[in-house]
Structure 1
């Protein structure tokens, strides 16, 4: 009887081990898919952005457009193409990014190239202009894109846009999960950025202080007739998902910036100057 019990126990242990191996394999497979998106296998994600760009406007965005005057985040542009700048104001090159915090292709771009973009920002090689849009809301009639973009604007007010921007993409929910429409979720994520979770930030998020500014930014995107998100340009030239015949990668982005900056000094001025 003891041998029989030992055999059954061993069989159960093997089954548990096999299941764990299967789960680990599935996790690795998902990681490979995300990595592949960054180095060139971006077709499906790009299609998602195109579909969203061609969708009609949402009730959420329409209501926000009449919620009050446009209040731009501190240091942000509120003119024809509202944007939040990151990096030296006198950097020799400008990286323009139109993106949606619910967009999976945007997350693939940001999570895959984050370290490279920050390196280029911090060394004065590029100034990044972030234009926040609400395409996934438009497609799904949701509110997470708008709420997250407003919260990012509130983080800009606190001088912590870049860090909170990265947290939003690192923790991005599934595209069809409108989790970012819940301000409580956005406030909880703010705790991951030291010093951001303040009464002023909370009030800004809960009151939708920058909603109309986000709507104006989304309208500028629609007027530009871009094909989808992310739309990424280096000095006005599209580089996502490729520049000419070269796919966007960390190495290629550095190379393209170096070519654009040849003979030009690195920037040193702060974005607000």
Structure 2
């Protein structure tokens, strides 16, 4: 009887060990895919958001003033804010909304890799600002934050302030970024940005019409969700196998020619 009990316990331990290995493997796969999946999963909801925004007519807070592109903006209609060297072999085009939680998830996972590659001259990033959440949930937080980011670009501080906005992003339903004072206070987290010129730019909404024009360009391209991320023109946000490591490998391979 004792031998049978010992054998039964060994068998149970073996089954438990196998199950633990399966769980570990599953967890590794989950960690690898979580960001790609989170980006892809949001596309379905974002499609609805895009339709609502497209059909909503004039959005609350839409600007009718002149279109003033931020300093150094490039591309068609000067709608892209560049980060990195012009001579880089790879270009990462990112369409983002500062109120979008999926955009924040993308930034948290990919930002270190993007910074490393742009600093090394292997990647050039082009950021386009979108205000889908304003159109879906109401409010002006996407517009106000987008304008503030453009004001930071005028001061040569876009990348740092862009990161601060995502690091301090309020809940999607909380239109906290509609408050210019909050956006101005966050500039204190970026060395050299908290200046009278930045404050005036934010309060005047200098780049409001530019943000609206960027959003219209997003709609015209037929994109349906944020973040929309293109590497050398290919939409990688829809690639379920994409990871920061894979992005780095693709960019470094292109850099080698």
- TM-score grouping bracket, smaller chain normalisation: 0.7 to 0.9
CA offset at residue 64 of structure 1? 3.1
Q: Residue 160 and residue 257 in structure 1: after superposition, are their counterparts in 2 closer, same or farther (change >3 A)?
A: same
Superimposed CA distance per residue, residues 73-130 of structure 1 (whole angstroms, 9 cap, x where no aligned partner):
1101374461100000111111000110001111010111110000000000111110
- Counting only pairs closer than 5 Å after superposition, residues 197-212 of structure 1 correspond to structure 2 as 197-212=194-209
In the alignment, what sits opposite 1:261? 255
- Counting only pairs closer than 5 Å after superposition, residues 1-273 of structure 1 correspond to structure 2 as 37-38=34-35, 40-56=37-53, 61=59, 63-66=61-64, 68-77=65-74, 79-80=76-77, 82-242=79-239, 247-263=241-257
Unaligned stretches of 5+ in structure 2? 1-29
Distance 1:43 1:96 in 2: 17
Query: Aligned-residue CA RMSD in angstroms?
Result: 2.1
Q: What secondary structure does 2:249 align onto?
A: helix
Q: What secondary structure does 2:53 align onto?
A: coil
Distance 2:200 2:98 in 1: 21
Distance 2:202 2:81 in 1: 17
Distance 2:38 2:150 in 1: 31
Q: What secondary structure does 2:113 align onto?
A: helix
Q: Residue 78 and residue 72 in structure 1: after superposition, are their counterparts in 2 closer, same or farther (change >3 A)?
A: farther
Q: Residue 212 and residue 56 in structure 1: after superposition, are their counterparts in 2 closer, same or farther (change >3 A)?
A: same
Distance 2:227 2:134 in 1: 15
Distance 1:181 1:35 in 2: 35
The alignment's TM-score, normalised by the length of structure 1, stands at: 0.77
Distance 1:78 1:235 in 2: 14
Superimposed CA distance per residue, residues 153-190 of structure 1 (whole angstroms, 9 cap, x where no aligned partner):
00001100000000000111111111100111111111
Contact 2:82 2:126 in 1 (8 A): yes
Distance 1:136 1:35 in 2: 28
Tell me the number of residue pairs that the alignment of Structure 1 and Structure 2 aligns.
Answer: 227
The alignment's TM-score, normalised by the length of structure 2, stands at: 0.82
Q: What secondary structure does 1:64 align onto?
A: coil
CA offset at residue 259 of structure 1? 2.9
Higher helix share: 2
Contact 1:49 1:105 in 2 (8 A): no
